[in-house]
Structures are given as structure tokens and as C-alpha cells.
Amino acid sequence: MKTVAITDLHSCEYEHPLDRIGLETLRKIPLFPKVLELCTVPQNSISRMELLGSNLKVTERQMPTLYKLMREACETLNVDEPLFYVSSAPQLNAYTACPDKPIVCIYSYLLDFLTDDEIRFVIGHELSHIKSQHIIYQALGTILGENLLSAILSTVPGLSTFSQPAIYALNYAYFEWYRAAEYSCDRGGYLACQNFNASCTALMKLAGSSQRFVDELNLEEFIEQSRNFEQVSSEGLGLVQKIILSNGRSHPWSVSRVGELIKFNDSGEYTNVLERKTLRKELPASATPALDTASAADKAKEAADKAKDAAKGALSGLSKGFGKFGKSE
């Protein structure tokens, strides 16, 4: 379908509210700027060399249909065209890298499952990471995800004194923010493809799909699954389970992503952005919600306390799921 270019679009017009708040919380943690400085070691040229040597570069002459989808998404979201590659890795995935000269890479396995509009959604999602400058923090996520932070800090004079609670607070705040950033980029993907059903089915296929049964997927059932998950995970033991299983997780639950996209659509925010009814300029730092500098640490402690209580419950036979989770640790 033909999409409408969104004139003078700024990322703050569609960013999820938890995205900006989460990033501000992250920036207020004393450890954050020092660790981020460690992550600025040039790696971009290495990433570009790896992609150039191993993957297929998409251009006007190489996979022109796919290239056209990228060009259309760039025009729709007002994003400069990145380098574009296809990887043969057998995964349902795509990623963005290199903040100085961005690269978008989509796995061919994913392309085989998606329609053109669903591919537009995925491309728009990745372009939104560029537009919101999320990839500046990508290296930090890698360090946290691999549990390398303590080892790195121990080798740097003056940083080895940071306590484990401070490291935990940074880890917790980072992944809380990053999951919210994914919600923002899903909104950007929807704006890029301008097809609500295709945006939701793309997320459904990312959750789990099969080439053999792809024609039997049912979006209504997946949306109902999303509602059920929201209900069971919003209180009591389900909430604690959700906190434990979210720890260190870079992406939100697939069903939650669909649920948040439904809210964006049903609230009228999508239409307002698309029709340019509520133009908003970039918010200055002073306009962002004021947060207590101890907020992230408090949340981290709260999550740890709930996890501890849940573990006790597992040992006393409250939940088989928790028992298995505890044993895996």
C-alpha cells in the first residue's frame, strides 16, 4: 500500500511515555556516564567491515524490491537512508548498529515469513532506533547483557569501588528503559507501514511462526492472548513472576508489544501524528518529568525483594514454575 510521508516528524511525537522517563532515570544514576564513556571505544568500522564481508548489501540493483521498501520507510519517517544488509542467519530478527553511520540488517529467514507491509513495519521499527538515537547506548546493553560490567570496572582505576547494588541499579534501569524504547520503535514501525493489522501480525510472527502453518495464524487469538497475559501479570504472584522473568530482558513480552500498539492506535495518538494534528517540538531537558535520583535504585531493591519473596514461595511449593526457575539459577 502507498504510505504518506509524515512532514517534519520528530521522534518525541510518538515515543512511548516510559521511554523518555526511563532514559532520564538512567542518566541520573552516577555510574551511568562513566560506564557509557567506556563504551565509546570505536567499534563501528569493525561492524561495517564484518557486514560488508559476510552479508548481502541491499541497493537499487541488489534486491530492488526490498530496497524500495527501505526508501519508502525513510521518506515516511524523515530518516536519512542507512546502509542496508540482509543476513542469511536462520533467525526471526533484525537489528540496527553503528550510531555514526547507521546500518540496518534484516535476516532473510524473517523476510520469508512477512508480507510487504509487515516488512515495512520491521524496517520502520529499526529506523526509529536511529531516529531516537537509541543505538548510542547499544554497547552498554551488550556489556550488561553479558554480565561483563563488574569485570570491566575492576580494571579501571577509580571505578572498582562501585558496589554491587549500584551495578544492579544500572542494569535494572537500563533494561527497563530499553524495553520502553522498543515500544516507541513499534509505534514508529506502525507509522512507517500505516497498516495496523500488518503491524500486529508482524509482532505475532516474531513471537512464533511456521512456514507450514503461517496461513493458519489468527490475529484475534493473539490479541486475546495479550489481554489474558495483561490480566494474570498485573497483580499478585503473576506480577512477581513478570518482574523476575523481565530481569535482564532487552525486549518486552511479544503480547505486551501488541497490547501497547493497540493502546497507541485506540487512543487516537497514531491518527494525530499521521494527520499532523498535535505537532510537538523536541522537549528540552528541563521539560522532562523530574525524577528522584534514587528512583532506579529503589525500583531495583523493590524488584530484588519481590524476587526473594517469590523464591521463598517456590521452595514452599507455591509454584512449579518458580521451582524450575530457581533450579536453573
Cell numbers for 202, please give them.
508482524
Residues 137 and 176: their CA atoms lie apart, in Å, by: 13
Q: Do residues 179 and 257 lie in contact, with contact meaning Cβ atoms separated by under 8 Å?
A: no
In a domain, 80, yes or no: yes
Q: Do residues 255 and 232 lie in contact, with contact meaning Cβ atoms separated by under 8 Å?
A: no
Residues 6+ apart with CB under 8 A from 326: 311, 314, 315
Distance of CA 4 to the CA centre of its chain: 25
The sign one gets for the Cα dihedral 230, 200, 26, 165 is positive
In a domain, 315, yes or no: yes
Beta strands across the sheet bearing 94-97: 56-57, 83-87, 103-107, 94-97
Q: Do residues 226 and 256 lie in contact, with contact meaning Cβ atoms separated by under 8 Å?
A: yes
In a domain, 178, yes or no: yes
Residue 326 has what pLDDT?
31
Please state at what angle helix 17-27 crosses helix 295-315, rounded to 10 degrees: 100
In a domain, 39, yes or no: yes
Residue 318 has what pLDDT?
28
Domain span at residue 171 reads 11-323
Secondary structure class of 294 (helix, strand, coil)? coil
Residues 6+ apart with CB under 8 A from 76: 3, 4, 5, 6, 124, 191, 192, 194
In a domain, 120, yes or no: yes
In a domain, 2, yes or no: no
Q: Which residue, 47, 123, 93, is CA-closest to 205?
A: 93
Residue 175 has what pLDDT?
75
Residues 98 and 136: their CA atoms lie apart, in Å, by: 8
Per-residue pLDDT of the chain (329 residues; tens, 9 = 90+): 688 999 889 998 999 988 888 878 777 776 666 666 666 555 567 777 788 888 999 999 999 999 999 999 999 999 999 999 999 888 888 999 887 789 999 999 899 889 999 999 999 999 999 998 888 777 666 666 555 555 555 555 555 555 566 666 666 777 778 788 899 999 999 999 999 999 999 999 988 877 788 888 888 998 888 888 777 655 555 444 555 445 555 667 788 899 999 999 999 999 999 988 866 544 444 333 333 334 444 544 454 444 344 333 432 332 333 222 233 33
Domains in the chain: how many in total? Answer: 1
Residues 6+ apart with CB under 8 A from 166: 29, 30, 31, 297
List b or e across 39-49, with b for residues whose CB sees 16 or more CB atoms inside 10 angstroms.
beeeeeeeebe
In a domain, 3, yes or no: no
In a domain, 1, yes or no: no
Secondary structure class of 233 (helix, strand, coil)? coil
Residues 105 and 57: their CA atoms lie apart, in Å, by: 9
